[in-house]
Amino acid sequence: MKITKNRVVSVNYHLSTSIDGEAEQLVEQTSTEQPYVFLCGYGEVLPQFESVLEGKEKGHPFDFKIAAEHAYGLVEEDYIVNIPRKAFEIEGQFDAERIRVGEEVPMNDAEGNQLMGIVLEVSDEQVRMDFNHPLAGHELHFVGEVLDVREATSEELDHGHVHGAGGHHH
C-alpha cells in the first residue's frame, strides 16, 4: 500500500540539523517500538516531509533534506527582542533561577498567546530573547524507513488524526 492522503503512516527516523554546512547534530530519534505515526494529508507534518514520502510503501528507506525555508523558516531578526530586566522580577527580585542564557522561557504576547523564547543574553538593564522556532534557520536531515501504511478509519478521518497505538487517544 502506497503513502497517499487519508492513509496512516508509521515511520522510524532520526532527524539531524546543521547551520551553514556545520556538522550535523541529532535533534530527534524514533524507534521501531515507538515510531512516528501520522495521518497523511492533514497537515500534521511539514508539507515537504509528506511530499517526499508520498508514494513510498512499507519497508522503503528514505534519506532526504529539507531546506530551512521549507521547514521552520529562516531566522527572523524581528523575533529577537530586548525585554526590560524588571519584567522578570518576582517580588522585586530578578528570577536568576529561570532566566539564564540558553533557557527556554514561556511568555505571553500582547494578545495573550503563549510564546516560547530562548534567553540569549542577560544584562543589568535587559534580557535579550529569541522567539524564533528553535529549528528556524536549520536544514533538516531525515534518515529512516517506512514501517507501515494502512487505510485510516472513518473515525480517524472525521477527527483528522490517528487513533490508537502511536496516535491520539480520547
How high is the mean pLDDT in each 10-residue block of the chain (170 residues)?
A: 96 89 87 95 94 97 96 95 94 93 92 93 97 93 97 91 66
User: Quick one: 55 and 42 in the same domain?
Assistant: yes
User: Quick one: 100 and 66 in the same domain?
Assistant: no
What would the grid cell of residue 166 be? Answer: 502511536
Is 111 within a domain? yes
Beta strand pairing call for 7-18 and 36-39: antiparallel
Is 114 within a domain? yes
Segments forming the whole domain that contains residue 64 = 7-72+135-159
pTM here is 0.81
Is 164 within a domain? no
Domain count, the chain: 2
Give the model confidence (pLDDT) of 1-51 as tens digits. 999 999 999 999 999 997 666 778 999 999 999 999 999 999 999 999 999
Q: 4 vs 56, 135, 148, CA distance in Å?
A: 9, 27, 12
Q: How many CA atoms lie within 13 A of 127 on its CB side?
A: 25
User: Quick one: 15 and 67 in the same domain?
Assistant: yes
Q: What is the CATH number of the domain that holds 93?
A: 2.40.10.330
Q: CB atoms < 10 A from the CB of 18, how many?
A: 15
User: Quick one: 24 and 68 in the same domain?
Assistant: yes
User: Quick one: 84 and 126 in the same domain?
Assistant: yes
